[in-house]
Amino acid sequence: MTFAHRLGAAITALVFLSSLAVAQSDPLPSWNDGASKQAIVEFVEAVTTEGGADYVAPGDRIATFDNDGTLWVEHPMYTQLAFALDRVKAMAPDHPEWKTTQPFKAVLDNDLETLGEAGEKGLMEIVGATHAGMSAAEFEKIVSEWIATAKHPTFDKPYTDLVYQPMLELLAYLRANGFKTFIVSGGGIEFMRPWTEEIYGIPPEQVVGSSIQTDYKVIDGVPTLQRSARIAFIDDKEGKPVGILTHIGKRPLAAFGNSDGDYQMIEYSTAGDGKRLGMFVHHDDADREYAYDRDTHFGKLDKGLDDASKEGWHIISMKKDWKQVFPNE
């Protein structure tokens, strides 16, 4: 090998090692350099630098994340709604009356327009029929089996493959810097808990969500928690700060959402003393995922878009800020 060839090989190796070192030192490799990434890194450095004006002790480093549309895909409908509709179809043979009774008839006929017209009342009927009348353990088994096999209608992949790679990196980055990460979602708490630790690294006790009434009963001598059809708590909008107080007991330093349902959580979190971080994920990438904000039934972002700038919150552009959307992309 000539000297020139050896020199060229050495330079190539140095360039490779240099790029590898940069990649390893970047905690958010799926994020493009820009205002959003910079805001995250500056916030984390500020609150974790001992002796700094904004230093926060590890025990008070709390970050909350919405789930649907913030950590994984929420269109064309919320994943838990897809679960409920599948449950109606699976249970239909035992309920012949559903063939002529709304909103169940609409589900069986795949009539989404009529189903939409049923509104919240119809949705509560479906949830009551598909999520109640069983023990908590039975429901967890049903959810676990469904999430392991169900596929998204557009991407034809398991829903758990459609989590956002940049947000997985953000979760890991925060935890590496002493943060405790929580899910605070309008979704059902018992629907999320069976799989969040495996997918997000967030254990069941750090999941906050909506819930139905659960009653303690002894059945055939066995202590059991039975799920009823009564709604106990809705963890959405004004309910999110209440859920945070009830389950976490501390005001978060950082909060991440994607819709107006997360507005109050971000507002509450950033109203505390010291340095804070509030961010909305904006779905503006129709090529790689979906584009929606003000005009949608799922994940509407309207007031949040209008108020973010004056409140000092950040809008994460899925199109501009993320190099990739899903893992293994």
Q: What domains are defined for the chain? A: 31-75+153-321 (3.40.50.1000)
Residues whose CB is less than 8 angstroms from the CB of residue 208 and which lie 6 or more positions away in sequence, other chains included = 64, 182, 183, 184, 185, 189, 235, 240, 243, 244, 246, 247, 248
Query: pLDDT tens, 209-267?
Result: 999 999 999 999 999 999 999 999 999 999 999 999 999 999 999 999 999 999 999 99
Using the 8-state DSSP alphabet, how is residue 31 labeled? B
Q: Sign of dihedral through CA atoms 105, 108, 109, 114? A: positive
Rounded distance between C-alpha atoms, residue 188 and residue 186, angstroms = 7
Give 118 or 94, the one with higher predicted confidence.
94
Query: pLDDT tens, 286-310?
Result: 999 999 999 998 999 999 999 999 9
Residue 137 has pLDDT above 50, yes or no: yes
Rounded distance between C-alpha atoms, residue 38 and residue 40, angstroms = 5
